[in-house]
Structure 1
């Protein structure tokens, strides 16, 4: 029996047979003409669903367990100072802007990172402080006035983190001199990734995770590949050869300074919904991942208790995602020292 899709008739994946093979929808309402732009519909060449690897849809209960374990692994990698900094951070140091499809708030809550929710329309008059970081979830639309105001405050020192469609409706609107959507749309798939700059503090978790098996990155149906406009200033932190081969863009995570602030963008979502096991190691139990990274006895016990239904790939993905978020937050807090500008 198929699992019911969380987005119902508003799902943006109704045109993707790979997604519909796994999820059922309450109606046959077409996404075209509602939240998706016609250019986001997949071309026939992208609808080949054949794959030699195995896909694993992660149910909410398993997702919560995966992030609990992944978060515990990532937290152990932080210094005591960074852990203390996160525990004592301001309530408004992290701002979350809700979207339609991504759910960074769920991940932050699971990682015990405090945040304040600000709706899209509230951004137009919100009293930003330059010590803040704004996480903008993937959404079907976004007020242009809010995008322009974000640019204004980024130049003064604000940091923003964006996902997927925010490339087109936030960054392409207000930061088009740095990045834009390359015009293509992905299918629902998982691709292998690699670290471009292993010395960059944001991606330290990926380096450790890649020692025994290539980390995987989930692409949503109709995710937006990134075109880099300013090649001198935009840094690619994570890339994927498979992404480039299919969509002529290898950038998975990019970052760039703008004035006194910074923008970091990633294709697809923070909130993981599925993984793949492209090789034998990815199919192994979660316990093997703990052994590979030399995790503590506490992690081993946690996996024995809560992770028996999880595989290597799922814990690898959740722990690298959690590490990335912890790195973003701790680096930002340490750089600002929570000043009130």
Structure 2
């Protein structure tokens, strides 16, 4: 990892802090959702292991169980439409694409990152999205939330936030082919200027209540970038001034010591995001069962 070794260690610390921030905040503001998160069983989430991304590390920190499988074993598992299927980058599944399409069509939730755009989504949904063939450099770009009402984004990026998104070297920009069906949740003017496409996080519905969610770059961030005075302020300042924590509550989270606001914000946003995804899918499944 070279010159980013120190930043990688800081991000590991930031993720540990973010799991505690998440729990404290949801206990105060969304106790029912926290209870849903705590009741998730390991068969509800299937993760296909990746080489370049490891979403499972975030789930470990927030104590959400899952089943981890290797890409070579994918065709041997059975999928249910009440599950969340997470495919880490690069998403090189050679057999089973039809199974994924059927899974989503029947109501399943598919979450993919980075190169899975080309290896999974473009092959299954060729009329909706594709890789624009302009890979990024190792870079960070400013991002903006497009739909603040979307439940996946609840609790992320407070009023004065100016979040930075890390792009792994050779991340794949998302080209949207069907703008009516594909919804952009997070976008970046800087991404558009540098790499030709603005979308960072997209989602679309498919089939009988199925959902696809995809993001550019990797979910488990390995570094951050501190551009502004706000980013360089302390993580404890972030909790007290922007998240409504008392100084005492912030002091109780030892992992915040030495972290910047930018590092804490980036780690927390990904931790809260995956929690929101899981909670919303669990609610959707419950509602679906009640309607039968």
**What is the TM-score with the length of structure 2 in the denominator?**
0.92
How far apart, in 2, do the equivalents of 1:299 and 1:229 lie? 46
Please say which structure displays the higher CA radius of gyration: 1
Give the CA RMSD over aligned residues.
Answer: 2.0
- Answer yes or no: is the 8 Å Cα contact 1:120–1:146 preserved in 2: no
SS in 1 for 2:161: coil
Deviations 1:271-322 (A, max 9, x none): 111111111110111111112221255640234x222121010001011111
How far apart, in 2, do the equivalents of 1:114 and 1:154 lie? 21
1:81 aligns with 2:29: no
TM superposition shift of 1:147: 2.1
Unmatched tracts of structure 2, length 5 or more: none
Which residue does 1:132 correspond to in 2? 83
Which residue does 1:330 correspond to in 2? 279
SS in 2 for 1:310: coil
The partner residue of 1:110 within 61, 73, 90 is 61
TM superposition shift of 1:122: 2.4
Matches within 5 A, 1:20-169: 21-22=3-4, 57-59=7-9, 62-75=10-23, 76-77=25-26, 79-139=30-90, 141-143=92-94, 145-169=95-119
SS in 1 for 2:171: coil
The partner residue of 1:214 within 151, 162, 184 is 162
SS in 2 for 1:205: coil
Deviations 1:235-276 (A, max 9, x none): 000001100011111100000011021100000011111111
1:186 aligns with 2:107: no
TM superposition shift of 1:224: 0.1
SS in 2 for 1:127: coil
| Structure richer in helix, relative to its length | 2
The partner residue of 1:280 within 213, 229, 232 is 229
Unmatched tracts of structure 1, length 5 or more: 6-19, 24-55
Change (3 A) 1:140 1:334: closer
**What is the TM-score with the length of structure 1 in the denominator?**
0.79
